[in-house]
Structure 1
């Protein structure tokens, strides 16, 4: 009997959390939209809730492509920096021959 009250209390706390965080409202809106949909597509919930997996949003795909391009450019710039540093080292005097020391 005591265990049952504790379980009910935990459920009530969790339900309150879901309501306070807006999860209940979001799910209600999604289920209402599904109910009103004449044809029930298999991917309805995935589309509305943003299920994990391959992104379907064109903005996300565009950003992923941009990130890939920037990573490639970053690698090129790092290599170029190494070459310039090596070239610069040829023209700098050794530490012990610097003026003013």
Structure 2
């Protein structure tokens, strides 16, 4: 016999009223209806809902581009750090040789 956790019914009802009072239920419903009525369904339904509800920010493609740019910038930083260290060593040898 397995037991499953079920929140207190009054807490669940209280949370439902909170969401309704805040307009969350209506906003989500409008977003889902708009998605349902889309002639061509988007590839990313969650992104569609987020944008429909006024969410701003980069879309998935932009996020991937930014991740790739960040990775390239980190690699360049590491390369320049290594080059800087090598140049410091050369300078140290040059200065100590005089």
C-alpha RMSD of the superposition: 3.2
Q: How many Å separate the matches in 1 of 2:71 and 2:85?
A: 22
**What 5-or-longer segments of structure 2 have no aligned partner?**
1-6, 51-58
Number of residue equivalences: 82
**What 5-or-longer segments of structure 1 have no aligned partner?**
1-5, 51-55, 94-101
Q: How many Å separate the matches in 2 of 1:49 and 1:80?
A: 47
Question: Whose radius of gyration is greater, 1 or 2?
Answer: 1
Q: Which runs of 4+ in 1 moved over 3 A?
A: 16-23, 41-44
TM-score, scaled relative to structure 2: 0.56
User: Which structure carries more relative contact order (alpha carbon 8 Å, separation 6+)?
Assistant: 2
1:9-36 per-residue CA deviation (whole Å, 9 max, x = no partner) reads: 2112322454577643442222111332
TM-score, scaled relative to structure 1: 0.55
